[in-house]
Each structure stands twice: as structure tokens, then as C-alpha cells.
């Protein structure tokens, strides 16, 4: 049988543009919640928009409009 995943509830608060989505997205990636190929895709897309540091934030941003802000 596969490894059972532990579920946690987490609240992240902070000022606008403080890095909440980036930190949370990086945590999800480090915990295995998203694969490396997807992060590499986000990194490429972010670089095309000149926002390379946003690759982890985009784990949480599903809409194109959110990414272009």
C-alpha cells in the first residue's frame, strides 16, 4: 500500500506582496505536492513575463489574469 499523506490546515497572513503565495507554493513543492516538471514550466512562463521569482507563487495562481498582475 502507498504512503498515506498527512493533511494539515495552514493559515498564512501578511502584507500585500510579502511573499505569501511564493512561500506557500515553495512549501507545496518541497513536500511533493507538485512535480519538478510543473515548476520548470512555471519558471519558463514567469521568465517570459520578466517575473522569474513568481514560479512558486504560480502553484496557487490558476488564472492567467492573476499571473499577469
pLDDT digits (tens, 9 = 90+) for 17-48: 899 989 999 999 999 999 999 999 999 988 99
What is the value of pTM for the model shown?
A: 0.75
- Domain ranges for the chain: 20-68
| Residue 3 in this model has a pLDDT that exceeds 90 | no
Who contacts 42 (Cβ-Cβ below 8 Å, separation ≥6)?
Answer: 54, 55, 56, 58, 59
Predicted confidence band at 2 (pLDDT cuts at 50, 70, 90)? Answer: low
SS3 at position 24? helix
Q: Residue 58 has what pLDDT?
A: 87
Q: Is the pLDDT of residue 62 over 70?
A: no
How does the average pLDDT of the chain come out, rounded?
86
Amino acid at each position: 500500500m502507498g504512503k498515506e499523506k498527512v493533511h494539515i490546515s495552514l493559515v498564512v497572513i501578511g502584507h500585500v506582496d510579502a511573499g505569501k503565495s511564493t512561500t506557500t507554493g515553495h512549501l507545496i513543492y518541497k513536500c511533493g505536492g507538485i512535480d519538478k516538471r510543473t515548476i520548470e514550466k512555471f519558471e519558463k512562463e514567469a521568465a517570459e513575463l520578466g517575473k522569474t521569482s513568481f514560479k512558486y507563487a504560480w502553484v496557487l495562481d490558476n488564472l492567467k489574469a492573476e499571473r499577469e498582475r
